Protein backbone atom coordinates (compact mmCIF):
# COMPACT_ATOMS: atom_id res chain seq x y z
CA UNK A 1 0.00 0.00 0.00
CA UNK A 2 1.31 3.43 -0.93
CA UNK A 3 0.67 6.40 1.32
CA UNK A 4 0.20 9.36 -1.03
CA UNK A 5 -0.80 11.84 1.65
CA UNK A 6 1.32 13.46 4.31
CA UNK A 7 -0.55 11.71 7.11
CA UNK A 8 1.12 8.77 8.82
CA UNK A 9 -0.42 5.34 8.36
CA UNK A 10 -0.16 4.70 12.08
CA UNK A 11 -0.33 7.30 14.81
CA UNK A 12 2.48 6.93 17.32
CA UNK A 13 1.62 5.97 20.88
CA UNK A 14 1.97 8.90 23.25
CA UNK A 15 4.00 8.58 26.43
CA UNK A 16 1.68 7.72 29.31
CA UNK A 17 1.34 10.75 31.60
CA UNK A 18 1.00 10.68 35.36
CA UNK A 19 -2.51 10.87 36.77
CA UNK A 20 -1.79 14.44 37.81
CA UNK A 21 -0.86 15.43 34.24
CA UNK A 22 -3.82 13.51 32.81
CA UNK A 23 -6.37 15.17 35.09
CA UNK A 24 -4.76 18.59 34.68
CA UNK A 25 -5.21 18.26 30.90
CA UNK A 26 -8.84 17.19 31.35
CA UNK A 27 -9.50 20.28 33.44
CA UNK A 28 -7.68 22.53 30.97
CA UNK A 29 -9.92 21.37 28.13
CA UNK A 30 -12.93 23.10 29.68
CA UNK A 31 -14.23 20.06 31.53
CA UNK A 32 -15.74 20.53 34.93
CA UNK A 33 -13.78 20.24 38.14
CA UNK A 34 -15.85 17.16 38.95
CA UNK A 35 -13.64 15.18 36.57
CA UNK A 36 -10.48 16.44 38.23
CA UNK A 37 -11.86 15.40 41.63
CA UNK A 38 -11.63 11.76 40.56
CA UNK A 39 -7.82 11.92 40.53
CA UNK A 40 -7.56 10.97 44.21
CA UNK A 41 -9.90 8.02 43.74
CA UNK A 42 -7.85 6.70 40.83
CA UNK A 43 -4.64 7.18 42.83
CA UNK A 44 -6.07 5.34 45.85
CA UNK A 45 -7.08 2.42 43.64
CA UNK A 46 -3.65 2.44 41.91
CA UNK A 47 -5.21 2.91 38.48
CA UNK A 48 -2.81 4.21 35.86
CA UNK A 49 -3.76 6.29 32.84
CA UNK A 50 -3.10 3.41 30.44
CA UNK A 51 -5.59 1.26 32.40
CA UNK A 52 -8.50 3.73 32.32
CA UNK A 53 -9.68 2.79 28.83
CA UNK A 54 -9.96 -0.85 29.94
CA UNK A 55 -12.18 -0.18 32.96
CA UNK A 56 -15.58 -1.85 32.78
CA UNK A 57 -18.81 -0.03 33.56
CA UNK A 58 -19.01 -1.99 36.82
CA UNK A 59 -15.51 -0.82 37.78
CA UNK A 60 -16.42 2.77 36.91
CA UNK A 61 -19.47 2.37 39.18
CA UNK A 62 -17.20 1.17 42.01
CA UNK A 63 -15.07 4.28 41.51
CA UNK A 64 -18.12 6.54 41.63
CA UNK A 65 -17.90 7.46 37.95
CA UNK A 66 -21.60 7.01 37.36
CA UNK A 67 -22.21 9.55 34.59
CA UNK A 68 -22.01 8.27 31.02
CA UNK A 69 -20.42 11.52 29.88
CA UNK A 70 -17.65 11.22 32.46
CA UNK A 71 -16.90 7.66 31.36
CA UNK A 72 -16.77 8.69 27.72
CA UNK A 73 -14.47 11.58 28.54
CA UNK A 74 -12.10 9.40 30.57
CA UNK A 75 -12.02 6.65 27.97
CA UNK A 76 -11.51 9.00 25.02
CA UNK A 77 -8.67 10.82 26.76
CA UNK A 78 -7.01 7.60 27.95
CA UNK A 79 -7.34 5.90 24.55
CA UNK A 80 -4.56 8.13 23.21
CA UNK A 81 -2.08 6.28 25.41
CA UNK A 82 -2.97 2.71 24.31
Report pLDDT for 31. 60
CB 60 within 8 A of CB 71: yes
Q: What is the pLDDT of residues 17-54, one digit of tens each?
A: 999 999 888 887 666 667 778 999 999 999 999 999 99
pTM: 0.74
Alpha helices in the chain (DSSP H): 19-28, 33-36, 39-44, 49-52, 57-63, 68-79
What would the CATH number be for the domain defined by 19-79? 1.10.150
- Distance in angstroms (rounded) separating the CA atoms of residues 69 and 35: 10
Amino acid sequence: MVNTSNTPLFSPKLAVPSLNEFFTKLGANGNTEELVDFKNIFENERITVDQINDLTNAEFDQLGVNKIGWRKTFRAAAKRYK
